[in-house]
Structure 1
């Protein structure tokens, strides 16, 4: 479908620089993609500061520059697909300013909901996808590159090497967002985004005699605080869909189940570890205490966020984004943010997080307007753009440029949330960075059913009577599926083995950066 409103295409070269040659989908390899070495594919060596571009339009923190790109002069429509949430006001402001600077360009910004992944898949398969696609909406980068769905940015963005070099280390990684030495994503948010902070109703916990503001609750304190709040007429804990897997995984990993569900040092699943079983025991003890809000198994996160300000429950484990949501929607709600509970005895460990999973954007290889995407990406993927993102969204979510988190002011709660985020999260290893053929395994893997969430909820509801046996069965099935997927990849020509999931030099207390891969 032709999205040009004028079917006689013309373009004009903007005055400052000559046009960049655009990389089309034909440049993508049709077969297996390869990397050119870890160091070469990672962050470029920093260059001198990029020359200042002429400012076309300024609206608050939004700045539209003349990057010297060849932009269409016909009336055209450019489409950008995205998630809903805190990023939306920023993009709406950016696109409005861009359309004012270039009135012939209409940007359709589709902030989609639950059907996002399905709609994007249909668009890609039909050849009529949005020009810009969000990275975390069910599109696997290795598959998208191999199939020619997304385009590299190297020959599209102005001063690409300087743009890329400005990003923090470990942003661009082979097998994650770099393939054949080409870079395929425009990151906006940091990979280190805390999904499991403890939020609490300050008044309810204070009345119960607890204040985790500076010292995290131990498991014993957590249970006792929840029980006391319940005895005082409310409920101690609430969670969307029941306690679920995040409750168990978070507590278990802080207690020493390194990697959460999978131990990257040993290459084994952690489901039968002492920490997982102990976290399940704690969940069931709190259930016996009557500390969980009845009916929470059928609640959504939106439902839960409404209950805490109402005083129906005292504690909730969820993501850092809740700070901004409550501060904007419930300014009178007195709540606190802290680390999730730590073990009553023994060391508390960091939480691991996969590299390269921060929210980012892909350029659709079939886009007719890659130069428009380049002009937008050049600002989105910059410190200046990150500052604008933070200022407009008023969100605590850590931006990919850490300086932006310091430049933009946050509430004391927001500062505390970012502090815990930085203190507690560590990048874990990724098999695809070590061996690109591991991506074929991930594409072969099938969901294990029942999964961890199903098993934990079954234990919680009483439908599963033997937690240890259920977790052993889950571990066995998970191992079998990983082995099956590896064999399927090998049968298809991949050179990969279970050893690629073992990182003997992984220290859970440190980021696993590119230098660590080189040591193997």
Structure 2
């Protein structure tokens, strides 16, 4: 889930590994840092002290990273052992490693906890970057409370914050044969799906409806594109959760209509991400809503589908100009607090700032690289390049409570998972188990508001200067980069 399930006591080491099993399952694998001293093992990746251990959860980058470890290890002068972990297993693997003082020296960010909490608990070492590396990075890469603490860098972003996730991918050959234009509005999407259905040879659409987290993220995106003045149900202007906003209702009702009209490939309601993407990559389905990383995933499943891929940006209700807002770049890479060789680990992390690495990320056509400008010279399909240019034009910087007031992270560390979440509600509504959509969304908003209020009260009781006002930005304007 997008919310942290861990109390401050658990964060600081009060819960053992066995006791964490239920929490790990409840929050999609999030796990807490233990001892605030940070372990103190003799070296990363098993404590050997000989070379570096590097773990990540980026399935589409395994070949790149394995080769990178060999090449850059030779340049740095220490052997680097690279290991890939499935995303669902990575957080638990890191928890086990930390319990045994064998955290990898470098690891990707899947912990789902605020940076100050990770620093305080000893999970992280500062990252040292050269002036050359800093000069390569886009303006605004580092933000106090997000990637920095007290002026020191603790997390390196390598992926762009300027992106949206509910991209309208479609099969260009089917579009040409059936005769529909790339849709930009809900009505145009309905018309295109009906045209494919009337044609009769292809399935109009598939989605990963079985993946509650993914459908939640996509509806969050559609709602914001439709005018919701915030993100993930939280309004920027008032600092209050409002999932019952018309933009959410409209986006969910669009999915309901698509489902009820029989425009989805049979079985879609249970499809996980690989199921839906794999069936779309077979070439017999018109539309598939997926993130910008879709071409990389499709290539691994059926590279022959790449020339058929086309994208129409993201839908807005009436075809209005798309405006998206995202927070400051989040950390992609950390150096372990228990690393025996943090200098060499920082040298490895620094290589991720280079244009050749950023270009290699682009050519994987997975998550967009932090430096979006490298995509123009990268070997990528035209729709991916077009999408990156669209991100640069349409995605703006959001206000964030923890950026304005670092003490807000103390409250965020105390929030808990809300269940059922938005994706669960959408699944229930599309499946017929929920009839009062607005009522369920009101309950969801109330639960999130109550949880945040409780977390703020808890943090304030321990002396942190934080209040609900930290989440309200009445001066925020849609379509502009927020400045503090």
TM-score normalised according to structure 1 size: 0.77
Unaligned runs of 5+ in 2: 1-35, 38-47
CA positional deviation for 1:489: 1.2
Structure 1 residue 190 corresponds to structure 2 residue 179:
no
> Are 2:351 and 1:373 equivalent residues in the alignment?
no
Q: Report which stretch shifted further, 174-183 or 263-272.
A: 263-272
Superposed CA offset, 1:171-218 (max 9, x none): 100110111111112222222233221111123333433121xxx421
SS in 2 for 1:510: coil
**Per-residue deviation, residues 44-95 of structure 1 (Å, max 9, x unmatched):** xxxxxxxxxxxxxxxxxxxxxxxxxxxxxx9824211111323322222221
Q: 2:118 aligns with which of 135, 144, 166?
A: 144
The answer for the alignment partner of 1:224 in structure 2 is: 191
Report the secondary structure of 2:464's partner residue.
coil
Which residue of structure 1 aligns with residue 321 of structure 2? 348
Q: Relative to 1, partners in 2 of residues 1:248 and 1:309: Cα closer, same or farther, differing over 3 Å?
A: same
Aligned counterparts, 1:372-411, within 5 A = 372-390=344-362, 393-395=363-365, 397-411=367-381
Distance 2:445 2:367 in 1: 33
184, 187, 209: which is aligned to 1:241? 209
Query: Where does residue 244 of structure 2 map in the other structure?
Result: 272
Distance apart, 1:102 and its partner CA? 6.9
1:251 to 178, 197, 222: 222
Residues in 2 aligned to 1:100 and 1:147: alpha-carbon distance in whole angstroms: 33
Distance 1:413 1:485, change over 3 A: same
**Aligned residues between the structures:** 432
Match of 1:79 in 2: 53
| Structure 1 residues 221 and 312: alpha-carbon distance in aligned structure 2, compared to 1, 3 A threshold | same
Matched, 1:432 2:405: no
Please, which of 72, 85, 99 is the counterpart of residue 125 of structure 1?
A: 99
> Which blocks of at least 5 consecutive residues in structure 1 are unaligned?
1-28, 31-73
CA distance in 2, matches of 1:138, 1:125: 18
Query: Given the two structures, how large is their TM-score scaled by the length of structure 2?
Result: 0.83
Alpha-carbon distance in 2 for matches of 1:175, 1:283? 37
CA contact (8 A) 1:270 1:276 kept: no
Give the structure with higher Rg (CA). Answer: 1
**Other structure's SS at 2:79 match:** strand
User: Do the aligned partners of 1:386 and 1:404 also contact (CA within 8 Å) in 2?
Assistant: yes
* Structure 1 residue 204 corresponds to structure 2 residue 174: yes
The answer to whether the aligner puts 1:419 opposite 2:389 as a matched pair is yes
Determine the C-alpha separation between the residues in 1 that align with 2:143 and 2:99: 27
Q: Secondary structure at the match of 1:387?
A: helix
Alpha-carbon deviation of 1:488? Answer: 1.2
Q: Distance in 2 between matches of 1:375 and 1:85?
A: 23
Q: Indicate conservation of the 8 Å contact 1:227/1:290, yes or no.
A: no
Deviations along 1:5-33, whole A, 9 cap, x unmatched? Answer: xxxxxxxxxxxxxxxxxxxxxxxx98xxx
Q: 1:172 to 1:101 in 2, by over 3 A?
A: closer
Offset at 1:265? Answer: 1.5
Which residues in structure 2 correspond to 1:304-323 (within 5 Å)?
304-323=276-295
Alpha-carbon separation, structure 2, partners of 1:383 and 1:312:
37
Superposition CA RMSD, Å: 2.4
**Aligned counterparts, 1:474-489, within 5 A:** 474-489=444-459
Give distance in 1, aligned partners of 2:66 and 2:56.
11
